[in-house]
């Protein structure tokens, strides 16, 4: 095969190279079946929505590359061969780690990545609460593509034929099959290059032991990554020893997307190998109903308004359709903790002006923040409108009470064993205790009953002598809200609290 097989004419007799593997920018993406950490290509990519049109002779300003109509494509060579590490202790944190690669602008499709086999395997291990994962990644970028919305690329002809059939459809099944074929999203930006990840699994007990000793596991994992690709000669003896000790305590899976980093760790060497076959490593995704607009169907006679409204109608049902087929275990969105409806906490640590999703993200990423309260029904004229109330782990006087316009989220993965809410009781559906009711037991025995129940996420203990059944324990799906109740304490348990003493 000729070495110029990817070259094509661009405004003159000379040949210009096209960007390798840019085809991925043209494809749809199924957010339920996708898995950015898959070995090889991400299974979320589907069939072409757009087609590559080079007839206009568009090229980069330096005249080296041809660019298809409707895209801005920029070389962006940047390789970091050292390994950065992230500790993942819950399913929510794992989903967030994946979302760094697949950034979604619009939701409403259900639990993302939940139909992926590899995701379900890791999800199952996470759910047991017995393991912690440490992800160590090195990455190399080569170029990125951005979709031009108001001068968009032409739609793929096969895609258009399917859309015209969809236009006449009156059944949800036809739309579900469309999502299966073309995905739930389309890409507005794709970064091409390579990434190399070590997924280290460590037992929870060993993780807590190492943390108690003050060992920086993320740093150790970074050293281990360098050693594993053959670059250990760049480390001193203490760093090599640290890597060796770390590897004794973990099970490791290698995830290679594109070319692997070289043994000598040289970033320039890695870049020279990545350029031949760069693959998508990060992508920004737009929900597919937003494709059906004048911006993209300007030269088509398709009734895109009708199809867009139908997609909005059926998108929330698609995950349930896959669940009934056995592809998805649950369509519930993951949360960083437990949600209490109609509940407001008192004695705030910090107040910020943020929309609710950013409020959750801010608390999750802020050291010491363990809970938020947010007014979900406030109007602009209300005092608490768009106000993020944050609560710290050291705040010992947190109380919860009924407030119809508010919701509270408690970040169980960030709790150190548990958090006490004083003079507060849970309203919800309590669980049956193993030995019936605890009529005359104290608070420590109620605590023990909860930690011995694998489903228990919270309990309320009533100190009032007039109350016979003092200990009420709850699973997460039994929690509704909180109310003020004197002589009563509520405990929200950490995700890792089992068989502990009060």
CA within 13 Å, CB half, 264: 6
Quote the CA–CA distance of 485 and 496 in Å, as a whole number.
Answer: 27
Phi, psi of 271 (to 5 degrees): -60, -40
The domains of the chain, with CATH numbers, are 7-287 (no CATH), 338-493 (3.50.4.10)
Compute how many other C-beta atoms are within 10 angstroms of the C-beta atom of residue 283. 27
Average pLDDT over residues 1-30: 69
- The label of the residue with tokens 């951005």 reads 146
Query: Confidence class of residue 163 from pLDDT cuts 50, 70 and 90?
Result: very high
- The label of the residue with tokens 């969105």 reads 333
What secondary structure does DSSP assign to 308-363, as a single string?
Answer: HHHHHHHHHHHHHHHHHTTS-S--PPP-SSEEEEEEEESS-SEEEE--HHHHHHHH
Query: Confidence class of residue 176 from pLDDT cuts 50, 70 and 90?
Result: very high
- The predicted model scores a pTM of 0.80
Contacts of 317 (CB under 8 A, 6+ apart): 172, 176
Closest CA to 300 of 179, 183, 188, 155: 155
Phi, psi of 38 (to 5 degrees): -70, 145
Lowest mean pLDDT among 44-53, 240-249, 371-380: 240-249
Quote the CA–CA distance of 45 and 329 in Å, as a whole number.
Answer: 21
Which pLDDT value is given to residue 9? 47
pLDDT, greater one: 127 or 448: 448
146 pLDDT higher than 90: yes
Which pLDDT value is given to residue 12? 56
Identify the burial level of 3 via C-beta atoms within 10 angstroms of its C-beta, where 0-12 means exposed, 13-18 middle and 19 or more buried: exposed
Contacts of 333 (CB under 8 A, 6+ apart): 107, 110, 111
Q: Is 275 helix (H, G, I), strand (E, B) or coil?
A: coil
* Structure tokens that stand for 326 in this block: 């056995």
Which pLDDT value is given to residue 52? 94
Which pLDDT value is given to residue 63? 80
Let me know the angle formed at the C-alpha of 220 by 219 and 222, rounded to the nearest 5 degrees. Answer: 65
- 389: Cα separation from own chain's centroid: 23
The total number of residues shown for the chain amounts to 502
Which pLDDT value is given to residue 8? 43
Q: Identify the H or E element spanning 372.
A: strand 369-375
Lowest mean pLDDT among 182-191, 248-257, 310-319: 248-257
Which pLDDT value is given to residue 70? 94
Our separate counts of H helices and E strands in the chain read 11, 20
Please, what is the average pLDDT of the chain? 85
Which pLDDT value is given to residue 433? 72
Phi, psi of 319 (to 5 degrees): -60, -40
Which pLDDT value is given to residue 152? 93
pLDDT, greater one: 275 or 46: 46
Average pLDDT over residues 381-388: 92
Average pLDDT over residues 393-419: 80
272: left (phi over 0), alpha (psi -120 to 50) or beta: alpha
Q: Is 365 helix (H, G, I), strand (E, B) or coil?
A: helix
* Structure tokens that stand for 156 in this block: 């793929």
Q: Is-contact 492 423, C-beta < 8 A? A: no
Q: Identify the H or E element spanning 207.
A: helix 204-212
178 pLDDT higher than 70: yes
Q: Is-contact 270 281, C-beta < 8 A? A: no
7 pLDDT higher than 50: no
């Amino acid at each position: 095969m000729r070495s110029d097989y990817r070259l094509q004419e661009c405004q003159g007799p000379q040949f210009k190279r096209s960007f390798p593997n840019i085809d991925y920018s043209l494809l749809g993406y199924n957010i339920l079946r996708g898995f950015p950490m898959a070995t090889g290509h991400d299974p979320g990519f589907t069939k072409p929505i757009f087609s590559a049109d080079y007839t206009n002779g568009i090229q980069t300003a330096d005249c080296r590359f041809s660019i298809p109509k409707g895209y801005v494509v920029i070389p962006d060579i940047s390789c970091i061969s050292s390994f950065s590490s992230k500790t993942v202790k819950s399913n929510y944190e794992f989903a967030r780690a994946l979302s760094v690669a697949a950034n979604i602008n619009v939701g409403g499709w259900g639990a993302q990545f939940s139909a992926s086999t590899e995701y379900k395997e890791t999800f199952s291990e996470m759910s047991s609460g017995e393991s912690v994962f440490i992800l160590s990644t090195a990455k190399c970028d080569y170029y990125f593509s951005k979709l031009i919305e108001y001068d968009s690329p032409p739609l793929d002809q096969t895609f258009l034929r399917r859309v015209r059939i969809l236009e006449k459809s009156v059944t949800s099944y036809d739309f579900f099959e469309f999502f299966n074929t073309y995905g739930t999203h389309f890409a507005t930006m794709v970064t091409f290059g390579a990434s190399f990840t070590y997924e280290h699994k460590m037992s929870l007990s060993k993780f807590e032991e190492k943390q108690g000793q003050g060992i920086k596991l993320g740093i150790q994992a970074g050293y281990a990554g360098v050693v594993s690709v053959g670059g250990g000669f760049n480390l001193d003896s203490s760093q090599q020893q640290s890597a060796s000790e770390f590897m004794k305590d973990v099970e490791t899976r290698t995830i290679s997307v594109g070319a692997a980093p070289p043994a000598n760790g040289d970033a320039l060497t890695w870049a020279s190998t990545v350029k031949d076959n760069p693959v998508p490593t990060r992508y920004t995704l737009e929900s597919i109903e937003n494709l059906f607009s004048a911006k993209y169907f300007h030269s088509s006679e398709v009734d895109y308004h009708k199809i867009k409204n139908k997609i909005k109608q059926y998108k929330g049902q698609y995950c349930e359709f896959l669940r009934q087929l056995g592809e998805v275990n649950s369509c519930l969105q993951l949360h960083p903790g437990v949600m209490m409806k109609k509940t407001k906490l008192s004695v705030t640590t910090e107040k910020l002006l943020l929309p609710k999703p950013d409020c959750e993200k801010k608390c999750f990423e802020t050291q010491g923040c363990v809970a938020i309260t947010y007014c979900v029904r406030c109007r602009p004229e209300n005092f608490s409108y768009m106000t993020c109330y944050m609560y710290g782990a050291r705040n010992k006087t947190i109380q919860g009470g009924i407030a119809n316009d508010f919701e509270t989220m408690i970040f169980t993965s960030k709790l150190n064993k548990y958090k006490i809410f004083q003079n507060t009781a849970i309203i919800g559906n309590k669980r049956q205790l193993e030995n019936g009711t605890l009529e005359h037991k104290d608070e420590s025995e109620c605590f023990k009953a909860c930690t011995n129940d694998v489903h228990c996420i919270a309990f309320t203990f009533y100190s009032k002598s007039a109350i016979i059944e003092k200990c009420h324990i709850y699973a997460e799906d039994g929690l509704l809200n909180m109310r003020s109740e004197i002589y009563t304490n509520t405990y929200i348990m950490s995700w890792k609290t089992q068989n502990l003493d009060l």
